[in-house]
Amino acid sequence: TFDYAPAPESRSVVDLKSSYGLFIDGEFVDSRGGTPFKTISPATEEVLAEVSEASQEDVDRAVAAARTAFRSWSRLSGADRGKYLFRIARIMQERAREFAVLESLDNGKPIKESRDVDVPIAAAHFFYHAGWADKLAYASLGDNPRPHGVVGQVIPWNFPLLMLSWKIAPALATGNTVVLKPAETTPLTALLFAEVCQQADLPPGVVNIITGAGPTGQALVGHEGVDKVAFTGSTAVGKAIARTIAGTRKKATLELGGKAANIVFDDSPVDQAVEGIVTGIFFNQGHVCCAGSRLLVQESIAEEVEAKLKARLATLRVGDPLDKNTDIGAINSRAQLDRITELAQVGEDEGAVRWAPECELPANGFWFRPTIFTGVSQTHRIAQEEIFGPVLSVLTFRTPGEAVAKANNTPYGLSAGIWTEKGSRILWMADQLKAGVVWANTFNKFDPASPFGGYKESGYGREGGRHGLSAYVTTGATR
């Protein structure tokens, strides 16, 4: 049975304020006319803080501050910009515990993930891009690369701090200034990051954080003072943004959904593959755009893999995100829980076989047991649509060709995994798979030096590595 015990001692490392303003031009300021909203802990439904909603006037102010700051920031030497980024990275490391606890409180993810994955990789992005800032001439970015100007960035709730760092670090390294809007259910680590900017003495206006929901995001990406848009979120909103900026001078990168296949061949080390399948879909409650949400397992070992998977799932601990032993935390919001619940019901209605281990869930908050569907066919909605929760759809295949055809048979193309001992097969499969990232004998590995992004409805543009930098510069003739 599950004994829900909040962990007050770890909570005490964060200095949670009862209300937060907007971070504009280096200061926390009150909104002009926005309606404040509450951010809650998805594990307990308690209110964590009241957060400001940026109105159109606030968006105007933030963009104007970024525009003014751009004049001097873009003229600063790369080495000087790099110094600020190094400083930010180091402060993030120093305040890692605060960031990790706050992220787990606001998002619901297990503390061991925010502590070991989100926060360190977020800092690593700033270190990595700090290193690029004075070496852009060697990054093969084309003729006369220059920053776009003011970048409007909208990020989702699944990796709030990490997505912020993916967006802000390359933008600043290349000399742009930023207005960023975090998701409405997870604004707190972005606001803590604003404090880090102050602590690092980053010039006012270089980074502005405005909070709010969809309409604030819409006002930002549609703002005439924004030169480039970077978005991570749902395919539906990505398409709406693409329509908003069509015909304008704005450049955009869109990182949208996924329905990755994790492909397990009969010569793979099965126990290792089972761990990879579990990480692939249950890491971060399955709120991962590159999650291995479809298991494609070779028919001859399907029964063995299913049995081992079920045994492994029965050992996963679902519960308090602040407990270091927790494997699966809370679903980020009631709306997301409803979406997952509905699609899982569709899976049952379409005839797939549902299985989840017995486990007691806390009385309050948003929870979903790790769930497996077997007997899934390609046409089922749970094989086609992004569930964005701890739900795995299991399909089988006989030949490598069939595995490729099934893996590619979705509207998405973000990532894929291959498990096999055969190197030549890995190379052949990686070439055939329509996926921006292909992992072999591992899954969900992230590195700031590796470009990340998708094909088809998973969006366009790459983040990370040299390719990620190129999204933040314009080349050719002077404007």
Binding site for ligand TXE (CB under 6 A): 154-156, 158, 181, 183-184, 213-214, 217-218, 221, 232-234, 237, 240-241, 255-257, 289, 336, 339, 386, 388
* Smallest separation, CB 241 to ligand TXE (Å): 6
Pairing of strands 391-397, 371-374: parallel
- Closer residue to ligand TXE in complex, CB, 153/474: 153
* Smallest separation, CB 374 to ligand TXE (Å): 22
Q: Are 312 and 342 in contact (CB under 8 A)?
A: no
Could you give the CA distance from residue 52 to residue 360 in angstroms, rounded to a whole number? 36
Residue nearest to ligand TXE (CB): 217
Could you give the CA distance from residue 415 to residue 430 in angstroms, rounded to a whole number? 10
User: Coil, strand or helix: which one is 11?
Assistant: helix
* Smallest separation, CB 398 to ligand TXE (Å): 30
- Closer residue to ligand TXE in complex, CB, 367/397: 367
Could you give the CA distance from residue 217 to residue 282 in angstroms, rounded to a whole number? 29
Count other C-beta atoms under 10 Å from residue 293's C-beta: 27
- Closer residue to ligand TXE in complex, CB, 162/372: 162
* Smallest separation, CB 339 to ligand TXE (Å): 5
* Smallest separation, CB 213 to ligand TXE (Å): 5
Q: Which two tokens stand for residue 394?
A: 């299991």
* Smallest separation, CB 224 to ligand TXE (Å): 15
Q: Residue length, the chain?
A: 479
- Closer residue to ligand TXE in complex, CB, 154/301: 154
- Closer residue to ligand TXE in complex, CB, 188/264: 188
Please, is 130 exposed, middle or buried when counting C-beta atoms within 10 Å of its C-beta (0-12, 13-18, 19+)?
buried
Count other C-beta atoms under 10 Å from residue 445's C-beta: 10
Q: In what side-by-side order are the strands of the sheet with 47-51?
A: 19-20, 47-51, 37-40
Among residues 197, 289, 457, 463, which one is catalytic?
A: 289
Could you give the CA distance from residue 41 to residue 107 in angstroms, rounded to a whole number? 7
H-assigned helices in 141-229: 160-173, 188-199, 214-221
Among residues 53, 117, 84, the alpha carbon closest in space to that of 279 is found at: 117
Pairing of strands 261-264, 294-298: parallel
Q: Are 452 and 163 in contact (CB under 8 A)?
A: no
Among residues 184, 255, 385, 386, which one is catalytic?
A: 255
Among residues 356, 354, 395, the alpha carbon closest in space to that of 373 is found at: 354
* Smallest separation, CB 172 to ligand TXE (Å): 20
Pairing of strands 371-374, 353-355: antiparallel
- Closer residue to ligand TXE in complex, CB, 412/419: 412
- Closer residue to ligand TXE in complex, CB, 184/320: 184
Among residues 108, 75, 62, the alpha carbon closest in space to that of 226 is found at: 62
Is 289 annotated as catalytic? yes
Mind telling me the catalytic residues? 255, 289
